[in-house]
């Protein structure tokens, strides 16, 4: 086949890093293909998704606000994407569209490659939106003994935990109010993930210094700005702190692999986003 294509479906998409990432990887691997970002209204979603069945299309990424709505338009949706309640990757195989979610697997792969080891340890996720769901899944996948989900709206944390418990039986999941993070604890946590969107607004959840030791890792899922108050406070309390760029790159890499069967060079991805001040899938 000659020229191929893939795209991002969302609204807005102008901020997206995905075209820079995937186009750089196509070029580096000598794949004759391009990737573009498409601003799609909800009413237009069925027709746009149908266009992905074309023989020259690899598939698509999906971002807000279409990650849920797109599920009903596909021929199949993977177990993990169903459990997470969101599709971020569509693969076109001979006109059949399958939906998957690479956020949790991308976060888990980056953590593994970065030497972040939740196995056998208690962990915390702050927030209860889509990113928090993926974070809980990734921590359970990496063998965390427990995950406590703390959220401003406690009912959302409860719903997240009760929804995921049956899928993640080996990890003890519980929930509480985000305010709990400000209270002292007797034992530091191994991994604390901030999956609230506060970092975008120059704000951070308050986390008590006793939550951290030198063996702790604090992960901010936002990556713009690259350093947040959550990360600074964690470092001051002795922990290692990281932002969400690694998750972004690895969820993109997994989508690329599903479309092309080839592994994108991560140094090419890193170079493609270096210096970019934009946010998003
Ligand atoms: N690195 C990556 O690849 C990647 C991928 C996806 C997302 N992310 C990042 O993850 C974060 C969350 O994204 P999302 O898609 O999960 O968003 P979301 O579904 O909108 O959830 C937002 C979360 O932030 C909480 N929150 C918002 N404003 C708050 C406030 N003023 N005080 C306390 N809590 C507040 C919400 O609590 P309530 O439930 O109480 O409203 C909710 O838990 C964002 O920073 C996003 O950029 C990163």
- DSSP letter, residue 209: G
Nearest Cα residue to atom 27 of ligand 1? 197
Instruction: Give the atom of ligand 1 at the shortest distance from the alpha carbon of 280.
Output: 47
Residues 6+ apart with CB under 8 A from 19: 8, 35, 36, 37
**CA 98 → CA 101, 143, 176, distances in Å?**
10, 28, 35
Mutate to test the pocket of ligand 1, among 114, 124, 196 (most ligand atoms within 8 A of CB): 196
Instruction: Assess whether the C-beta atom of 200 lies below 6 angstroms from ligand 1.
Output: yes
Measured on CA atoms in the order 200, 205, 208, 214, is the torsion positive or negative? negative
Q: What is the 3-state secondary structure (H, E, C) of 38-54?
A: EECCHHHHHHHHHHCCC
pLDDT of residue 199: 85
Nearest Cα residue to atom 3 of ligand 1? 248
Q: What angle do CA 115, 119, 124 make, to 5 degrees?
A: 95
* Spans of the chain, pLDDT less than 50: 277, 279
pLDDT of residue 230: 97
CA 247–ligand 1 middle distance (angstroms): 15
Residues 6+ apart with CB under 8 A from 85: 68, 130, 133, 163
**CA 270 → CA 16, 246, 267, distances in Å?**
15, 9, 5
Instruction: Assess whether the C-beta atom of 255 lies below 6 angstroms from ligand 1.
Output: no
Instruction: Assess whether the C-beta atom of 151 lies below 6 angstroms from ligand 1.
Output: yes
pLDDT of residue 103: 97
Q: 180 catalytic, yes or no?
A: no
- Long-range contacts: 178-181, Cβ < 8 Å, 24+? 178/126, 178/127, 178/150, 178/151, 178/152, 178/205, 180/150, 181/124, 181/126, 181/150, 181/205, 181/206, 181/207, 181/208, 181/211
pLDDT of residue 15: 86
């Amino acid at each position: 086949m000659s020229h191929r294509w893939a795209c991002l479906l969302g609204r807005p998409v102008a901020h997206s890093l995905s075209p820079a990432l995937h186009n750089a990887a196509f070029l580096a691997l000598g794949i004759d293909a391009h990737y573009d970002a498409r601003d799609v209204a909800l009413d237009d979603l069925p027709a746009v998704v149908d266009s992905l069945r074309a023989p020259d299309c690899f598939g698509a990424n999906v971002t807000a606000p279409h990650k849920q709505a797109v599920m009903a338009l596909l021929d199949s949706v993977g177990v993990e994407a169903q459990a997470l309640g969101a599709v971020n990757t569509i693969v076109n195989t001979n006109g059949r569209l399958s939906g998957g979610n690479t956020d949790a697997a991308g976060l888990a792969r980056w953590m593994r490659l970065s030497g972040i080891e939740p196995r056998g340890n208690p962990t915390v996720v702050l927030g209860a939106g889509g990113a928090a769901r993926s974070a809980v899944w990734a921590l359970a996948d990496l063998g965390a003994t427990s995950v406590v989900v703390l959220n401003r709206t406690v009912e959302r944390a409860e719903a997240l935990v009760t929804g995921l418990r049956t899928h993640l039986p080996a990890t003890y999941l519980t929930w509480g109010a985000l305010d709990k993070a400000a209270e002292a604890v007797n034992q530091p946590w191994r991994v604390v993930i901030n999956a609230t969107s506060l970092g975008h607004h120059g704000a951070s959840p308050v986390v008590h210094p006793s939550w951290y030791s030198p063996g702790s890792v604090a992960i901010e899922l936002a990556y713009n700005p690259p350093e947040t108050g959550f990360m600074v406070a964690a470092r001051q309390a002795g922990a290692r702190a990281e932002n969400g760029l690694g998750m972004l790159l690895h969820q993109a890499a997994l989508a690329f692999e599903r479309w092309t069967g080839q592994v994108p060079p991560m140094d090419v991805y890193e170079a493609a986003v270096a210096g970019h001040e934009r946010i998003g899938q």
